[in-house]
Structure 1
């Protein structure tokens, strides 16, 4: 949207400085004039010499000198104001240049403002922090897009290969072909739905509601219990009412992903999964802990990266997911302004702790306030 050109900030500051100096000078001259008139009578004054000045003589002598003084103050105010305004606005000029570079796509540039801490320094530091976060987010999105493209291309390539085989070999067993195609198509659908869910969480396009996190944990556990029994995993739940505020659908997905991840990446048999919820004075906590092989500490931070399953962790050929389980959990936690902590258990396995901030008053299903969040 075009805007008409206006005076620069430096020029406006210069005019303000000069105007203020002129007003101050005029007031000072007025005070001097009033002071002189107070002690000079209208008639002739006694004065040594041939001429005796009076008030009229004083007026004729004072007015030109006052105008000269005001002219000097105007010139001095304009020159000094221009120099001072330039020095004061120099940091703002650096910030403006950095902003334009960022607008042109250069996110690696930083201002690095020197000097003591003032308003301009705080603005520059905040801008540098914003650029760093934006650069990291863009790089994460690029990496995610590349990984997603690779993951989506795999089932499509398999489907194309199977269709070419079927076309070149009409006598091939179509039942086996359809079974493979269905499995590949199911994986592609699961991956697409996971990507959509991840995008929804990142954009925070959801409605927040008061809910009980313990009920969501029980629902997710009951849903995945047959899968746990199939793999010989014992699932235990504990904890009381855990008030929270957020999206019930997303938080249920978060809990289900954590429990699913704990079941899949566990011991071949005889493993355990512990799901615990508790309400603290500053947060609502969900903790999921599972047995399994030992995880190197340097591998733990990478587990929340998309399509990173961890090469040192046990996983089965079935129900392994699409590699977005913990990435979706991380995104949902961030969308709810919470924190996600992953800790490798010394005996093997993983401990995942989710903390969600508390806000408002929780209301139970019966409409009775349980406690103040």
Structure 2
């Protein structure tokens, strides 16, 4: 927005300081003037001529005006100069931290997110503003790095099915007599994987933007729905699902929270023991928040591997199944949906193998 140039804050503060000093001095001198007038008569008492001059000469108010007013003018002028010079220096000293913050803002606007103000001194309003700005810059820098990493990984993941499709089509063109059934099956698999990846990216973007309508959602019902949907997959893998818990109502998008629950249960099924695995799905309501917990048996995981599982396209080599490897966004979507609902996700490895994931969300009405 184009705006007309105005006075600087430093000049405004300088004029304010000078004005306060001049007005204070004028009030003080006026008080002195009024005080003097009480003890100076309108007409002076002159001494009597003759011997002795028993009565001394006293000044009257006209004498006071002649003696006092010029000095008042000089004093006010001196106060004005002192106020302007002192106010300019004092305002510059007071606004120095603001100048550093402004320079850091310009650098950030030009794309330099690594700069920090690092304001020294004791804690005051400027120090709090500078520290808050440094925290914001650190978060923006981390978010920017995460977005760049995500874009690079997404480009790589999307390029893979496209490259495979191009290779299959070239093979088919160079070998017209080849049986097309196997080619069609492989193209169908690659195309389905590309569609799944694209839908996952769109869902992740939607969760990050928080572009959804909020309503009351019972996580226990979402857990039951997700379990029923994935029951055939669990039977195929020989996994038993056990659900328990109380009503746990939060506020958010039913579709996104159902997707969160489905991703957790699906992840627990496909990354389980080769046979006779178990998945536990539990919900609970606490004071001010609700909890959805999904736990599964499986191979032992190190804390280092677990700490990376919510990052996009992180699959942990010990947890990948060739038939349901997914697109590497399942738990990343869970984390984004939870954060979009002001919640948290905590992953911990089970001592006997497998994973425990606890989602904590604010309680609804």
Matched, 1:336 2:334: no
Contact 2:285 2:363 (C-alpha < 8 Å) held by counterparts: no
Matched, 1:111 2:90: no
Cα pair distance change 1:46/1:235, threshold 3 Å: farther
- Secondary structure at the counterpart of residue 291 of structure 2: strand
> Deviation at 1:312?
2.5
> Deviation at 1:52?
4.0
Specify the alignment match of 1:297 in structure 2. Answer: 303
Structure 2 counterparts to residues 233-272 of structure 1, below 5 A: 233-272=239-278
Specify the alignment match of 2:80 in structure 1. Answer: 74
Contact 2:45 2:57 (C-alpha < 8 Å) held by counterparts: no
Specify the alignment match of 1:20 in structure 2. Answer: 20
> Deviation at 1:221?
0.5
Q: Which runs of 5+ in 1 are unaligned?
A: 362-373
Distance of 2:239 and 2:157 partners within structure 1: 29
- CA radius of gyration, larger in: 2
Q: Between Structure 1 and Structure 2, how many residues are aligned?
A: 359
Cα distance per residue 1:156-179 (max 9 Å; x no partner): 000001111111111011111111
Specify the alignment match of 2:38 in structure 1. Answer: 38
Using structure 2 for the length normalisation, give the TM-score.
Answer: 0.96
- Secondary structure at the counterpart of residue 79 of structure 1: helix
Contact 2:46 2:56 (C-alpha < 8 Å) held by counterparts: no
> Deviation at 1:45?
3.7
Distance of 1:231 and 1:155 partners within structure 2: 26
Specify the alignment match of 1:187 in structure 2. Answer: 193
Matched, 1:125 2:127: no
The counterpart of 2:164, out of the listed 150, 158, 163, is 158
Deviating more after overlay: 39-48 vs 315-324: 39-48
Q: Which runs of 5+ in 2 are unaligned?
A: 48-52
Specify the alignment match of 1:320 in structure 2. Answer: 325
Specify the alignment match of 1:173 in structure 2. Answer: 179
Cα distance per residue 1:182-216 (max 9 Å; x no partner): 10000000000000000000000001101211000
- Secondary structure at the counterpart of residue 281 of structure 2: strand
> Deviation at 1:51?
5.5
Root-mean-square deviation over aligned CA pairs = 1.3
Using structure 1 for the length normalisation, give the TM-score.
Answer: 0.94
Distance of 1:16 and 1:200 partners within structure 2: 51
Specify the alignment match of 2:288 in structure 1. Answer: 282
Cα distance per residue 1:12-43 (max 9 Å; x no partner): 00000000111101100110000000111112
> Deviation at 1:319?
2.1
Distance of 1:176 and 1:32 partners within structure 2: 108
Distance of 2:45 and 2:27 partners within structure 1: 27
> Deviation at 1:356?
0.2
